[in-house]
Amino acid sequence: MTDNTNQTNTESMEVDAKLLAKVLDMRANRLSMRTLKQLEDARMRAVRLHEQKTAGIVNTGTGTLGRLFYWAEHHRTFVTGMILTILVASLIVIQLNSYKVDTDAMLLGSELPPEAFVDRGFEPSLNQRVNFDEPEQVTSIKV
């Protein structure tokens, strides 16, 4: 008896639910022209993408390059970050190289041998010599 009541309730619930679903269906068929157009555009875009995927024109992921592009397209942030890092690293390397070239040119163009600049005691010694070269003021003349 209880089983029959439960079954009848379930059936009646299913019927009510189907009825409501049909109302929703009717409502879905009353969309505005603009919405329908936008849905159609979205559908066309999806179908075009599907055609490209199945025809293997773009990023099919079948070849090595294709897989690479496909991967890059789905990890845009990571790829952009990597490119920026490479650019910054290249700039730093170029700057360091140009500094080295300038230093080399300065060392080669100088009258002194390059070893002189490496020697730590050279600069104080050079300064002392400069002081030596200055003419001393004669304070008294010895006879």
Partner 1 sequence: MASSQELSDFLRNIERRAFKQTVYAVRDEHVALDIVQDAMLKISEKYADKPVEEYPMLFQRILQNTMRDYWRRQKVRNLWTSLFSSFSSGDDEDERDPLETIDVEDASKDPMAQLERGQTMQLIERALEKLPTRQREAFILRYWEDMDVAETASIMGCSEGSVKTHCSRAVHTLAVVLQKQGLGMKAITQLGVES
| Residue 31 DSSP symbol | -
CB of 120 to partner 1, least distance (A): 58
**64-74 and 76-109 helices, crossing angle to 10°:** 100
Task: List the x/- string, 3-42, binding to partner 1 by CB under 8 A.
Answer: ----------xxxxxxxxxxxxxxxxxxxxxxxx-xx--x
Beta carbon nearer to partner 1, 22 or 100? 22
Q: How far apart are the C-alpha atoms of 27 and 17, rounded to whole Å?
A: 15
Q: How far apart are the C-alpha atoms of 77 and 82, rounded to whole Å?
A: 9
Q: How far apart are the C-alpha atoms of 48 and 58, rounded to whole Å?
A: 11
State which of positions 39-68 bind partner 1 (CB under 8 A): 39, 42-43, 45-47, 49-51, 53-54
Beta carbon nearer to partner 1, 31 or 79? 31
Residues in the site for partner 1, rule: CB under 8 A?
A: 13-36, 38-39, 42-43, 45-47, 49-51, 53-54
